[in-house]
Structures are given as structure tokens and as C-alpha cells.
Amino acid sequence: MKFRLIEVFKAMMECGTVTAAAHSLKISQPAMTKQLTQLQNELNLVLFEQRGGRLVPTSEAQALIGSIDRAWRGVIELKEAARDVRDMRRGRLTVVASPSFAQTLMADFVAQFTRESSKITIALHAQTSPRVIDWTADGQADIGISMILAPRPGVHVEALGSLVGVCALPIGHALAANKVIRAEDLHGQPFISLAEIDGARSRVEAVFDRQAIDRDISLTTPQSAVALALVARGAGVAIIDEAAATMADLTRVAIRPFLPTVSFEVYMYHPANKVPSQLNERFVRQFRTWFKGYRATARDTVTPLLSQISASHTDSPRKRRK
């Protein structure tokens, strides 16, 4: 049944006369009468009878009004939903990110994005970086954020930028009095290392290997949140990215800039065999801009401090441990 015939029936039941119903639909009376006849023929029911010069709804019409109202509301809701999808105000996205990113920066952005688009549903998942890529390649996720670069069939990958590494120490640690922690400061220190699974460990290890600095690697974990929990309990120190550091309990953990600079690269993955929706494209476009703004803010605060300290260190070198 055409939606127009539903509108005709509803207008006739609400207005009571052909003239008033035709006027409400902005059509002529002959057109109104013709469409009422078409509706009755299609349903094979007599819906209106002539009484005293006017059409009066039959008991069959009265019995149908509830169903017609529900059908009318359903079509209206469908049109509204289609308009929302077209205007990117409705839809669903599945986003998967490495745990520290999902719990910090992506959580910040998703909260902001959904506040601006109340009818949108976003499923945010935390997985290790290799699993992020698997989910995206398999089409389980529309967007993946990983800390490793691993091009493979089934995905497109783009570099978003980098996060700066910082040092997390127990709040009462002797080194917490320093404004910055240098690699040599951690010689012989109990060290909580990130597992190789996310690629972060190799970047941190390279810094210490270049300077032949030994640490007491007593614990490893694949998650920065776990590393912070261990630091808070005095188990050692850790090098994590600046976003993960925002999860620290600052009553128990001290966060300090770290030199030499360690960069944690961030990559966005997209399914290669899935056409992105308009909502997906808007999310990605806005997230690129948001992350760029975040990095600019971080550079304005962290980078100048590191540069200043690095220059000071060059001018007045300190003695290293023997």
C-alpha cells in the first residue's frame, strides 16, 4: 500500500469530511475521492458510506484506524531515520583501540562525539594492537587505533602522529624530586617493562641499549594501566606514553618528562573491503582534527619543557653513575 493512501485515510478519519481532508492534504476534492476509492479497492473493504450528503466511516474503517495509525507512525519514523542517517545524526560504529588509547584519548573523543550526536551508538572496545588490526581486517571494527605499524591484506593504514614517552615513579621515590628523568637515572632501578606485543618495548629498550644502561627488569605487562598500578604499589618505575599517564593516581604516582625523547607512534586502520558510511567518514575526519589539536597542545606544554631541560643538560653535563 502506498503511503499516500494511508495519509488519505488518516486525514479523512481525523477531518470528517472530504472537503476538510482534501484541504489538509492540499489536494482537490475529486482527487481525494478518487484516492479513497483506490484505497477501498486495494483493501477490498467498504470504508465510507454516503449518509445525508456526506461520507461516514463504516465499522470496518473504525476497526482499521489503530493499525493505520501505527503504520503511519512507522513510515514517519522510517523517513526521520533515513534523514538522520543521511545527515549523519543516527547510526552505529564499532571502534577498537589499544587499551591505553581506548581508556584515555579515544574515550575523551567518543564522549564528545556522542554528546553532539545523541542518536548515534558507538561500541568502543580495547584490544592489544595486533588484535586491533585483526578486528579491523575481519570487518568486526569500522575503525582501529593501534600503536604498531603492520600493513596487511584487508586493511588501509594511516599514521596519525606520535605521543611522547614519560616516566612513572612511585610518589616517594628519590628520583621523583627531579624535574625530568634521564635514561641514566634509571641505571639499576627496578623497571616495569611493557610487553613486546604492542611494539612499545623495542622503542624504550633502544634508548637504554644505546647508552648501555642496565635496569632491573623485574616485571613486564602488555598494558600501561597495569604498569601504573604496579608503580603505585612501589614495584618499580615505567616508561609509558603521555596519554596513558593521564590514568595515573597522582597521590601514589609521580609523572615526569623523560629524556632522550621516546615517541609512541599512533596509527589508524580501516577495513579495506568495507565501504565506510557517511557517519564513519565524519567520525574519522573529526578525530584526525581532534588528535592533531591534542598533539599541538601537548607540544606547547611538554616539548618546550623537554627542550629547555635538554639544552640545560648540554650546557652543564651531570656526572653519570659509574
For residue 313, pLDDT over 60 is answered with no
Count: domains in the chain:
3
- Domain identity same for 127 and 216: no
- Domain identity same for 274 and 239: no
pLDDT at residue 82 in the model:
64
Q: For residue 27, what is the domain's CATH number? A: 1.10.10.10
Q: Rounded to an integer, what is the distance from CA 260 to the centroid of its chain?
A: 32
- Domain identity same for 71 and 30: yes
In a domain, 118, yes or no: yes
Q: For residue 275, what is the domain's CATH number? A: 3.40.190.10
- Domain identity same for 16 and 74: yes
- Domain identity same for 131 and 201: no
> 252 falls in which pLDDT band (50, 70, 90)?
very high
What does the alpha-carbon distance between residue 160 and residue 145 come to, in Å, rounded to a whole number?
A: 9
- Residue type (1 letter), 223: Q
Rounded-to-10 torsion of CA 276, 282, 286, 288: 20
Strand segments (E) across the chain: 48-51, 54-57, 90-97, 119-126, 143-146, 155-170, 181-182, 190-194, 216-221, 238-241, 253-259, 263-271
Encode pLDDT of 260-277 as tens digits.
Answer: 999 889 999 999 988 888
- Which residues, listed in sequence order, are joined to residue 123 by a DSSP beta bridge? 94
Contacts of 161 (CB under 8 A, 6+ apart): 265, 266, 291, 292, 295
- Domain identity same for 79 and 68: yes
Element (H, E) at 205: helix 200-210
Helix, strand or coil for residue 312?
helix
C-alpha cell at 55: 461520507
Q: Give the best-scoring range by mean pLDDT among 52-61, 83-92, 125-134, 312-321.
A: 125-134
- Domain identity same for 44 and 111: no
For residue 180, pLDDT over 90 is answered with yes
- Domain identity same for 103 and 145: yes
Biggest CA pair distance of the chain? 112
- Domain identity same for 146 and 286: yes
Per-residue b or e along 181-198, where b marks 16 or more CB atoms closer than 10 Å to that residue's CB: bbbebbbebbbbbbeebb
298 or 24, higher pLDDT: 24
Helix/strand/coil (H/E/C) assignment for every residue in 212-272: CCCCEEEEEECCHHHHHHHHHCCCCEEEEECCHHHHCCCCCEEEEEEECCCEEEEEEEEEC
C-alpha cell at 117: 550526536
| pLDDT above 70 coverage of the chain, percent | 86
- Domain identity same for 118 and 106: yes
- Domain identity same for 170 and 195: yes
- Domain identity same for 216 and 278: no
Least confident of 67-76, 112-121, 248-257, 310-319: 310-319
In a domain, 76, yes or no: yes
Q: 123: domain range?
A: 90-160+266-300
